[in-house]
Structure 1
Amino acid sequence: MSDWLHNLPVPLMALVIFSFTYLLAAMAFVAVALVATKERAASLKAISPGMLPVLGIIFGLFVAFTAAQVWGDSDRGGAAVSREASALRSAILLAAGLPAEQDAKLRGLVHDYVEQAVAQEWPMMAHQEASLKATPAPLAEALQMVVTMAPQGRAQETTQREILAALEQALDARRQRIVVSLASVNAVKWWCLYLQALCELLVIGFVHCDNRLGSAIAMGLFATGVATSVLLIAAHDRPFTGQISISPEPLRQIMPEAPGRS
């Protein structure tokens, strides 16, 4: 699905998806009505109603298969952001064991990194444009500073090692969230999902071709179930896109004060 649909508020997204699905059901209903003439009605009625639960089960498997990917991506994205925030918080706390000048510089670099991630990377991830090619300058500078500093005593040596590990963990968590931001349900899965739904709608129409009202009600109910399933998946399809998306709030909460502030 395209960016414009994923960026819609959930009510508008629901309107688009339900409208398209009901249109598909209406087209299937009209097609069955045109085909089910008096001469062909007996042949269409010969289609076994036993196909309905089989096709329904296959559609349910398609939904479960697609939803499993979506929930997995969402969980991994949320975990990556939490891990990144936790690692940066650890680095800030450990920086208290460094000389005052280095402590202040590290806090300032972490502040700049978080500010850059929220202001620049989150919008880029929402449009699936974030890249792993470049390391954020504040985090790279922080790593370089910690690596090159000369510790005074074993306590500072231990602190240096722990801060370095925390910054590397934050960098790894950033890579994970960017990778997750590029994930989405591909077009093949969407086409297969709707093709299976169309097959079910046609069989409902064929089985009930001699009862137009019953056919319309059954097709409408199934179309509602299809639209609900698609809306649930589409609203969570891209973990960092849309109204229901992973927020940078954990990073904001651990962001230290900007340099020069109390």
Structure 2
Amino acid sequence: METTRLAVYDHYVYAAVALLGTALAAVAIWRLIAAPRWRAQVLSLAGVVPPFLNILGVLFGLTLAFIANDTWSAHDRAMNAVYREADGLRTLDALARGLPDAPRADLRAAVRTHAAATAAEWQQLAQRSSSPAAQHSADQLLSLVASPAMAQAAGSSVHSLMLGTVADLRDDRDLRIALSQMHVNPLKWMGMAFLGLLTLISIAVVHVEHLRAAATAIVLFSVAAAPTAAIVLMQGNPFQSPSFVSPAPIAQLALNPATAP
């Protein structure tokens, strides 16, 4: 149980590792360059020009930017999927108003049931899984819309629009599930961590003759890099805090269904 829970929230663990690892690396590098027994050897490294930092710094910054872009892109895609689902359900509800009494009541009830099941699925999405109830309600909605009785009641053009809307709803739900199951890519983050370590070392080497300047530069870089990486890591799942994509647009359809004219 604890192993499963750790796997679900592994991005928080990686964020803590990023903070602690950066702090330990900064302290270790500082103690190395300031230690009297190594001071003579360290001073022999003097002469590395400051512009050398630009090479490693740019590589580190680009790597972190690309990883952050992937994370925030997943968040935006999840949010767009939620709003598309809500719009699709509203579309079905609006189209149901033009149907005869019996199919209208059936379709609107199916829409409300699916909206409620979808909103309740968020707890499973936060745990990188999906809800069988939401899958069942999606299947029921498709079966209802695809039935010959619904086709006869709606007419060919409206029925075609209904089928397309239900297909889009299922695609957006599949996208949500896929995005909720994203895991931290260790290779990407190991590469970024390696570049960050090299950048810290290069900062120390450039300022090796002036210990106070070296300490200031190392601290500034660490304070800038580690929290930024941790923030990106903590947003690994768009259905977990702090980057929580709300189910409110869908839940509203279940709690406050439109009143038929």
Q: TM-score, with normalisation over the residues of structure 2?
A: 0.83
**After superposition, what is the alpha-carbon deviation per residue over 1:21-64, rounded to whole angstroms, capped at 9, x for unaligned?**
32331122123334872431332214343321111111111112
**After superposition, what is the alpha-carbon deviation per residue over 1:63-121, rounded to whole angstroms, capped at 9, x for unaligned?**
121122112212211111111111111011111122222222222222222222222x2
| CA distance, structure 1, for counterparts of residue 249 and residue 163 of structure 2 | 21
| CA distance, structure 1, for counterparts of residue 109 and residue 136 of structure 2 | 12
After TM superposition, the structure 1 stretch with the greater mean CA deviation from structure 2, 164-173 or 27-36, is 27-36
Which residue of 1 is the match for residue 95 of structure 2? 94
Unaligned runs of 5+ in 1: none
Q: How does 1:110-121 map to 2 (within 5 A)?
A: 110-119=111-120, 121=121
TM-aligned CA distance change 1:128 to 1:152, over 3 Å: closer
TM-aligned CA distance change 1:5 to 1:178, over 3 Å: closer
TM-aligned CA distance change 1:248 to 1:82, over 3 Å: same
> Are 1:197 and 2:196 matched, yes or no?
yes
Which residue of 2 is the match for residue 74 of structure 1? 75
- On the 8 A contact 2:99/2:154 being kept in 1, the answer is no
SS class of match (1:98):
coil
Q: Report the residue type matching 2:130 in the other structure.
A: A
- On the 8 A contact 2:204/2:218 being kept in 1, the answer is yes
Which residue of 1 is the match for residue 220 of structure 2? 221
| CA distance, structure 2, for counterparts of residue 161 and residue 35 of structure 1 | 80
- On the 8 A contact 2:83/2:249 being kept in 1, the answer is yes
Query: Size of the alignment, in residue pairs?
Result: 252
Which residue of 1 is the match for residue 3 of structure 2? none
Which residue of 2 is the match for residue 125 of structure 1? 125
Give the share of equivalent positions with the same residue, in percent.
29
After TM superposition, the structure 1 stretch with the greater mean CA deviation from structure 2, 166-175 or 231-240, is 231-240
| CA distance, structure 1, for counterparts of residue 127 and residue 39 of structure 2 | 53
| CA distance, structure 2, for counterparts of residue 95 and residue 50 of structure 1 | 67
Q: How does 1:22-61 map to 2 (within 5 A)?
A: 22-34=23-35, 37-61=38-62
Q: Report the residue type matching 1:117 in the other structure.
A: T
- On the 8 A contact 1:204/1:215 being kept in 2, the answer is yes
SS class of match (1:136):
helix
Q: Report the residue type matching 1:143 in the other structure.
A: L
SS class of match (1:97):
coil
TM-aligned CA distance change 1:175 to 1:35, over 3 Å: farther
Which residue of 2 is the match for residue 172 of structure 1? 171
Which residue of 1 is the match for residue 180 of structure 2? 181
1:3 positional shift? 4.1
- On the 8 A contact 1:183/1:238 being kept in 2, the answer is yes
| CA distance, structure 2, for counterparts of residue 192 and residue 115 of structure 1 | 43
TM-aligned CA distance change 1:160 to 1:234, over 3 Å: same
| CA distance, structure 2, for counterparts of residue 152 and residue 60 of structure 1 | 56
- On the 8 A contact 2:8/2:128 being kept in 1, the answer is no
- On the 8 A contact 1:77/1:176 being kept in 2, the answer is yes
Q: TM-score, with normalisation over the residues of structure 1?
A: 0.83
**After superposition, what is the alpha-carbon deviation per residue over 1:208-232, rounded to whole angstroms, capped at 9, x for unaligned?**
2232221111100000110232133
| CA distance, structure 2, for counterparts of residue 243 and residue 220 of structure 1 | 26
| CA distance, structure 2, for counterparts of residue 233 and residue 184 of structure 1 | 13
| CA distance, structure 2, for counterparts of residue 236 and residue 4 of structure 1 | 11
| CA distance, structure 1, for counterparts of residue 194 and residue 36 of structure 2 | 19
Unaligned runs of 5+ in 2: 1-5
SS class of match (2:44):
helix
